[in-house]
Every structure is written in structure tokens, then in C-alpha cells.
Structure 1
């Protein structure tokens, strides 16, 4: 059976955390100007949006600056694939990436769009996966990587509490299908492949219903 023992996972997370680069501060005022082209999808307040076709753009406000910068670099290099984001990322210099990341990281987090018709049973399953995992299926809890209350843990693990449910679902399915694989050691992929469609919907519904907080160094474990 293909699974990751707790001790191996713990060692992997420790190595990732120790190697994660400290956020290089960008200039948020310059970032506000450079981020003007981001606003049509991610909104002027960084809240992101969903459309009627089922697409979802993530909330960026309050995420860790180095995490945002890494994702932009990955879009630019092609390590993370998205044709629209690659075209925008290619327009940015290294300094503009840092500036934009700094700008969004200082914004007040907004609450993402929830799944309003999620049943109590679905939300309870989502809470279990997010907070305790499901060791009968070797599924690690979300908070074991994403920090207390899933508010984020440094530059590697973003805050996912209060993110749009559709976006969480889309990313878990992308990890599951290996269409997204820009994390070290395939941590997200190995977990996502153990989730079924109901698990993905449940954990996305529960996480989206939680309140996000500003991901500052002081709030990280």
C-alpha cells in the first residue's frame, strides 16, 4: 500500500520549513501600481471571485508574501501551468513580483465564497479532514501542514481558511491529476490522490466557511 508514515512526513515538513527562504520585502506602494492588471480577476481588494462558468480566482489578500512570489515565479517558469497567469507573470520583473507579493500580503483578508447548500454531514466530514485527517485512508490533516486553524505556515504552506470553495476544489483536483505539481516532495499530490470527490467537496466547503486572518510572521507557528 502506498502511504507516507507520520515520521517521514514530519521529517519532510521539518526539512521544508528549515529551507524555506525568508520573505524578501517588496515595496507595497509600487506593488499597488504593478497589481493594477491583477484587479480584473483578483479584485481591487484582493478578494478574488467566481464566475457563472464555475471558474474561481483565489483570494490573495493576506497571504504570505514569499508564497505569492513563488507562485508568480512558478507561473513564469512554467513549473505551475496556467496560460493566462503565465502571460501576466512574464510581464513582471523580479522586483515587481516582490512588490506585488508585498502589496497583497499587507491587505486585510476577505472571506471567500462558501458552498451554501452543504449539509451538516458534509461539513462535519470536511472538519475532520481539515483538523484531524483520516488515518484509515492515510490522509494527513490540512492543519498539520497549513498551520493552526489552517491560517498558513510560512512561505511553503498558504493560509487556506476562508479561501473560495471552488478554488480549493479545483486545486485539490489539479494536485490529484498531477496537473499541478509545484510543491516539493509531492506532499499535496500524495494527499490529494487519497481523497475522493466527496472528500474534496467536504473539505473545501468547511475550509471556505472559516474566517481568514492576516498571515504575519507573528501569527505563524
Structure 2
């Protein structure tokens, strides 16, 4: 137990340090729009599916938290997230590039002055309620899983179910050079579930009204 706590503490300290450094770089959404050529071919097409390491719809990133986008890109760049295509892209990005892209996508598709739509509360089944409570998912991802307690955590409410399932499983992978995510906290959570249970969680989370969306790209450059 002491070893686990030490690992989690070390990860948290490292994460806070990276987050603090990222906060020093201010992103410009208008500049970010000119840098998204490598993003639009996947994230700007509704229903677009990745084919590695399995077939699933690529995540919706329009409306995602800017700090989370920067955190995820840095994880790919460092190799903590082992997706070859995303790592290759992230390695070409500077801190300023990441901040600009994150600023752009965090507000992408938002309608200025639009009234908040009334959301339908999706009540989980007793089985899913128990699974959500097992690791208290809402304690980090917040109300409707769209109001994280820290903006460097992702909004997951309404995200594609197949992507969520693939992402959650990836935290359980060890010693694979091309697949997996190196996050001690999420790994500790995900390993408490079977894959069948993770699929139930992913299906429920995707059914919740969220702020994420795919904004079709009007043109390709």
C-alpha cells in the first residue's frame, strides 16, 4: 500500500509540475485554427473511425477542456500514451502549438450568447450505479461527467462509447510498446473492473448529455 501511495504521489507531483508549466503558455484560438491541418482529417469528420489498435470512433474534442487537450497531447509526445499516430503528430508540436490548438478546440462549435439547453438526466441502472460508485468516477469528472474538478481532467459525458471503452482498457495494458496509457491513478481504477464492466460504464457515459461534439470541417487544406 505504501508503494502504491508513493507512486500516486509522485505522479501527482509530476502532473502538477507539467500543468504549471503549461499554464505559462497562453493559447490563441484564431492561431489554433491555422494549425489544425493534422487534426481535421480525423476529428473533423462525423463517424470517423480509427483502425489501431482496434476500430473505434475517434474522440470528440470540440468543446473539450483546453487544459486537458494540452495534457493529452503532452502525454502522447512523452510516450505515456502509446498511440503511434498520435505520438508522431504530438512530437511535431511545440508548447505554443498545443496551447493554440487547445484554445481553438475548447471553444469550437460554441454559439455565443446561446441559452443553455435543458438536459435530460439519464438515470443509470442499479448495476451501472454500483460500478460508478466503486471508484467514485464523479468525484473527478464532476456533474454529468462534464464538469471535472480540475480542467486538466477530461469531460467524458456524451463521448463515443467505443472510444471510451478502448481508452479505459488501455489503462490496464502493461509492457506494450504500441498500446497503453501510463497513468498510475487511472490504471488503479481501471484494473478494478472487468472489460465487460468497462463496456457497461462506457455505454452509460456516452448516453449522458454532454458538451462534446464533432464539428464537420468545411474544407481541407
Per the normalisation by structure 2, the TM-score is: 0.71
Q: How many residues align?
A: 188
| Contact in 1 for aligned 2:158/2:209 (Cα 8 Å) | yes
Tell me the distance in 1 between the aligned counterparts of 2:80 and 2:165.
Answer: 20
Say what the alpha-carbon RMSD is for the aligned residues: 3.5
Equivalent residue runs for 1:72-221 within 5 Å = 72-108=73-109, 123-130=125-132, 133-134=133-134, 140-151=135-146, 152-178=148-174, 179-183=179-183, 186-213=184-211
| Contact in 1 for aligned 2:26/2:96 (Cα 8 Å) | no
* Structure 2: runs of 5 or more not aligned: 111-123, 213-221
* Structure 1: runs of 5 or more not aligned: 110-121, 135-139, 215-221
After TM superposition, give the deviation of residue 175 of structure 1 in Å.
0.5
Identify the residue that residue 57 of structure 2 maps to in structure 1. 56
Residues 18 and 40 of structure 1: CA distance in aligned 2, closer, same or farther (over 3 Å): closer
Per the normalisation by structure 1, the TM-score is: 0.71
Partner secondary structure for residue 205 of structure 1? helix
Identify the structure with bigger relative contact order (alpha carbons < 8 Å, sequence gap 6+). Answer: 2
Tell me the distance in 1 between the aligned counterparts of 2:16 and 2:72.
Answer: 19
Identify the residue that residue 112 of structure 1 maps to in structure 2. none
Residues 197 and 77 of structure 1: CA distance in aligned 2, closer, same or farther (over 3 Å): closer
After TM superposition, give the deviation of residue 154 of structure 1 in Å.
2.1
| Contact in 2 for aligned 1:61/1:105 (Cα 8 Å) | yes
| Contact in 1 for aligned 2:139/2:149 (Cα 8 Å) | no
Tell me the distance in 2 between the aligned counterparts of 1:200 and 1:40.
Answer: 28
